């Protein structure tokens, strides 16, 4: 991993936690927009995880947001750009790349993690939250659309066509038609019965949250769009640590470096068996663990197996712990 790798116009930054560190830090760097994601940012974030997953010099990854927000979701001012294309496209789906990444991902959440930002947080293996952190699912929230929106557009087009007419109709008839169209336009714009729309989840929030905090809490959080505070998140098992906001990144790096000091191969295999086992019932998950343990020991060289035996024998020779 190089010193710093800017992506998407410096909006997604990738750099080591410190020089020579096996921990990589990805930073969503759009603080002025509370780290709302545009489509190029989504693609760059997905690409960053894909690159780091293939980098042998990286043992663990920290994901953070610059400024007052972890990630406030997708940028709805660029909705046409964000929602175009296939929602299943893994190249533009950072959550898909996070789920494919075999290395541990530690989320450093300070401020808001909203909707898509919440889904990105849920894709982390371990979460460190600042005291200001708020996790918020707004998929079901009403977004008003003026009634007769499409009719309004059509009416405006009619006026443009009328303005273009010259000799075909008299000025008096043209004036009367414009008056009728403008009256209809005014009625459409001042309607008190707005249509609304929501945004359907597609990055896993509807399925993951209930498995972490329980279905009843998840239903309340998602259907009422209520914020989950850092205190609630810790109590419900959503986050591992709650610290002061200015210590969030340091704590996340500390956890990542503790992981990086361990056997990297076993860390990768251990994460995999935990995550894969969560998709199964307990009986089949235990069978999966035994199968992978068998494969792990069968894959050892004679030298590796002998070293393991020496380690176990050395531990056995020590006095038992009093704990």
Report the CATH number that the domain containing residue 301 is assigned in CATH: 1.10.12
Question: Measured between alpha carbons, how far is 145 from 251 in angstroms, rounded to an integer?
Answer: 43
Same domain, residue pair 17 and 64:
yes
Same domain, residue pair 121 and 16:
yes
What are the structure tokens assigned to 323, written together?
A: 């704990």
Q: Is the pTM of this model over 0.95?
A: no
Domains of the chain: total:
3
Q: Could you count the other beta carbons within 10 Å of the beta carbon of residue 212?
A: 15
Same domain, residue pair 251 and 297:
no
The answer to whether residue 322 sits within a structural domain is no
The answer to whether residue 321 sits within a structural domain is no
Same domain, residue pair 60 and 160:
no
Same domain, residue pair 190 and 206:
no
In degrees rounded to 5, what are phi and psi of residue 128? Answer: -110, 125
The answer to whether residue 323 sits within a structural domain is no
Q: Give the domain range for residue 51.
A: 5-141+198-260
Which pLDDT does position 150 carry in this prediction? 41
Which pLDDT does position 306 carry in this prediction? 83
Can you tell me whether residue 25 is helix, strand or coil?
strand
Q: List, for the chain, all residue ranges whose pLDDT scores fall below the cut of 70.
A: 1-9, 78-88, 142-197, 315-323
The answer to whether residue 48 sits within a structural domain is yes
Same domain, residue pair 303 and 256:
no
User: Residue 41 burial (CB < 10 Å; 0-12/13-18/19+)?
Assistant: buried
The answer to whether residue 214 sits within a structural domain is yes
Same domain, residue pair 61 and 133:
yes
Which pLDDT does position 186 carry in this prediction? 56
Same domain, residue pair 176 and 238:
no
User: Residue 115 burial (CB < 10 Å; 0-12/13-18/19+)?
Assistant: buried
Which pLDDT does position 99 carry in this prediction? 95
Which pLDDT does position 261 carry in this prediction? 96
Question: Measured between alpha carbons, how far is 103 from 16 in angstroms, rounded to an integer?
Answer: 15
Same domain, residue pair 192 and 202:
no
What are the structure tokens assigned to 104, written together?
A: 């541990």
Question: Measured between alpha carbons, how far is 66 from 11 in angstroms, rounded to an integer?
Answer: 10
Which pLDDT does position 300 carry in this prediction? 86
Specify the CATH number for the domain of residue 125.
Answer: 3.90.226.10
Is 126 within 8 Å of 107 (Cβ atoms)?
yes
Question: Measured between alpha carbons, how far is 283 from 76 in angstroms, rounded to an integer?
Answer: 44
Which pLDDT does position 179 carry in this prediction? 59
Same domain, residue pair 108 and 176:
no
Distances (CA, A) of 276 to 24, 33, 71, 90: 24, 36, 27, 19
Same domain, residue pair 159 and 223:
no
Same domain, residue pair 244 and 185:
no
One-character DSSP codes across 186-230: HHHHT-SS-EEE-----SSHHHHHHHHH-HHHHHHHHHHT--EEH
């Amino acid at each position: 991993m190089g010193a710093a790798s800017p992506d998407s116009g410096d909006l997604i930054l990738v750099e080591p936690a410190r020089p020579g560190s096996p921990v990589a830090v990805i930073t969503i760097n759009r603080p002025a927009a509370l780290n709302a994601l545009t489509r190029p940012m989504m693609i760059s974030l997905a690409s960053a995880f894909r690159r780091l997953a293939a980098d042998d010099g990286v043992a663990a990854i920290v994901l953070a947001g610059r400024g007052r927000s972890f990630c406030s979701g997708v940028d709805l001012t660029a909705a046409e750009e964000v929602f175009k294309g296939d929602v299943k496209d893994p190249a533009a789906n950072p959550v898909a790349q996070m789920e494919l990444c075999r290395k541990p991902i530690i989320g450093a959440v300070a401020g808001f993690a909203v909707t898509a930002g919440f889904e990105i947080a849920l894709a982390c293996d371990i979460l460190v939250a600042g005291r200001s952190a708020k996790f918020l699912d707004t998929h079901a929230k009403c977004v008003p659309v003026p009634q007769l929106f499409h009719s309004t557009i059509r009416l405006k087009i009619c006026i443009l066509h009328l303005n273009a007419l010259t000799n075909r109709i008299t000025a008096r008839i043209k004036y009367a038609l414009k008056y009728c169209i403008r009256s209809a336009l005014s009625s459409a714009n001042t309607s008190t019965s707005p249509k609304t729309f929501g945004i359907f989840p597609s990055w896993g929030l509807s399925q993951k949250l209930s498995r972490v905090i329980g279905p009843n809490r998840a239903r309340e959080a998602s259907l009422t769009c209520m914020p989950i505070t850092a205190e609630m998140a810790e109590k419900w098992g959503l986050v591992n640590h709650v610290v002061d906001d200015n210590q969030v990144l340091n704590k996340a790096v500390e956890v990542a470096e503790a992981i990086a000091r361990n056997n990297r191969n076993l860390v990768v295999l251990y994460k995999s068996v935990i995550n894969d086992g969560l998709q199964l019932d307990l009986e089949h998950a235990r069978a999966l663990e035994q199968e992978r343990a068998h494969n792990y020991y069968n894959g050892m060289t004679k030298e590796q197996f002998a070293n393991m035996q020496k380690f176990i024998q050395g531990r056995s020779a020590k006095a038992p712990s009093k704990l």
